[in-house]
Structure 1
């Protein structure tokens, strides 16, 4: 049997579930976007059971969804955090929530989504949709703007963002610099845009490195406007590259030795 046939058989197993876990927000656009991503993933892998839960603000909670899955025959769950960095939610909130799973469930937590080349491709898709042409790359500086964090142990996550910016810069953009919308991390989006302009950048684009709309993405957009950015991309949302990345993380977790037995 080929690997693809084995994957299809595993997907058809109703006891196996991919549970997408998002941060949650008081902004209804957040949940709408997460559910759009869920629908895209289902369309890409029709035989796979895909469910959704939220860490805060929006139902269902992780505990409630896990209980419901157990009631409906689930036995093995891959919990995929819809999170881009290894910050507090991925390291603390989510594992705590997963510990409330019913005893009948075998739950494994997949890796966070970032960094990954598919995320870079999704960011470039959003900038193209906002008006950047392929020939604009060499003359365009990009501000890679993330939400930021107040977690003092998330220095590694912020360093990873800086490394992603440096890696992206080598793909032909004039310059790429990280920025943050919250948490006291500097520079902010506005300051990053202004610094690039002061350094002689002719065209500046802001790429929000966030999953869904909400208060912090709105702050990124405001900072981009105040700084005088020429182009502002949309959030990652239900980009097909993001859906493919989720499925890659799922497949890697399913195949890991820890899931055997």
Structure 2
């Protein structure tokens, strides 16, 4: 039986039907490093599965999903497996990607596109999150709090935010499980955009408990605009609450781990 955090661990039957090409789909960012991280996942994955892997983005970076599918169809590819590199089943998974695929298949009816489950939340992601938190702790410049117990630290777990309540609820579940595994007594959950509470409110709530330290953890795969917003809010809180040390972890995605995860079920 698949665990709660392994919802994409089994591939649809059609994945085994010898596709011509795989299409890795990510959100897209104005931050070049984020887009390059996605392309690196594609390159590593292609080496692992020894099949062509192309890349497309939902927004902000070309090629778009429909554009990429049309290009593949025009190059003679007939069977495509689409891999959503997304953490939660929100609007992009439930609405946007199916619409992009429909637009392409209306133009090329012979094009067969199989959409696999989104990558979701994997158990080993908790290890990656732990690494990022430790890296943040090690960067502490405050000798008093450098060895501070996590019992004196409030974790602020920040999801991207969605209009889909189930996606936000999943972020809350992941935050609770991670904080328990990592030994944090208290965790506050916030959202960078769309949903509430927003980042600043969650950070202020954390500060209201007068901890020695607050660590903001963005639940994001790659750096980009959203991660930048978190860093900016943390910097403002340092000014607002100078007696509390505020640290910020980096996004946890690492191309090699993500590619290996995808390769396991292809």
Shared fold by TM > 0.5?
yes
Structure 2 counterpart of 1:67: 70
Task: Answer yes or no: is 1:85 the counterpart of 2:88.
Answer: yes
Alpha-carbon contact 2:130-2:182 (below 8 Å) kept = no
> Quick one: distance in 2 between partners of 1:232 and 1:207?
6
Q: Is 161-170 or 201-210 further displaced after alignment?
A: 201-210
Alpha-carbon contact 2:37-2:255 (below 8 Å) kept = no
Structure 1 counterpart of 2:124: 118
Structure 2 counterpart of 1:230: 246
Please list, as runs of the form range in 1=range in 2, the aligned pairs for 1:112-261 lying within 5 A after superposition.
Answer: 112-132=118-138, 138-139=150-151, 140-149=153-162, 151=163, 154-174=164-184, 175-183=186-194, 185-228=195-238, 230-248=246-264, 251=265
> Quick one: distance in 2 between partners of 1:106 and 1:126?
39
Q: How many residues align?
A: 233
Q: Residues 116 and 209 (structure 1 numbering): CA distance in 2 closer, same or farther, change over 3 Å?
A: same
- Deviation at residue 91 of structure 1 after TM alignment: 0.8
> Quick one: distance in 2 between partners of 1:137 and 1:130?
14
Alpha-carbon contact 1:141-1:176 (below 8 Å) kept = yes
Unaligned stretches of 5+ in structure 1? 1-9, 255-261
Task: Answer yes or no: is 1:50 the counterpart of 2:53.
Answer: yes
Please list, as runs of the form range in 1=range in 2, the aligned pairs for 1:96-111 lying within 5 A after superposition.
Answer: 96-99=99-102, 100-101=104-105, 102-111=108-117
Instruction: Normalising by structure 2, report the TM-score.
Output: 0.76
Alpha-carbon contact 2:227-2:251 (below 8 Å) kept = yes
> Quick one: distance in 1 between partners of 2:44 and 2:200?
33
* Deviation by residue 1:139-171 (Cα, 9 ceiling, x = unmatched): 34321112212x2xx011111111111111221
RMSD of the alignment, in Å?
2.7
Alpha-carbon contact 1:162-1:178 (below 8 Å) kept = yes
Counterpart of 1:53 in 2: which secondary structure? strand
Task: Answer yes or no: is 1:31 the counterpart of 2:20.
Answer: no
Structure 2 counterpart of 1:5: none
Q: Residues 176 and 73 (structure 1 numbering): CA distance in 2 closer, same or farther, change over 3 Å?
A: farther
> Quick one: distance in 2 between partners of 1:63 and 1:50?
16
Counterpart of 1:113 in 2: which secondary structure? coil
Q: Is 218-227 or 20-29 further displaced after alignment?
A: 20-29
- Deviation at residue 232 of structure 1 after TM alignment: 1.3
- Deviation at residue 207 of structure 1 after TM alignment: 1.4
Instruction: Normalising by structure 1, report the TM-score.
Output: 0.77
Counterpart of 1:170 in 2: which secondary structure? helix
Unaligned stretches of 5+ in structure 2? 1-14, 140-146, 239-244
Alpha-carbon contact 1:190-1:225 (below 8 Å) kept = no
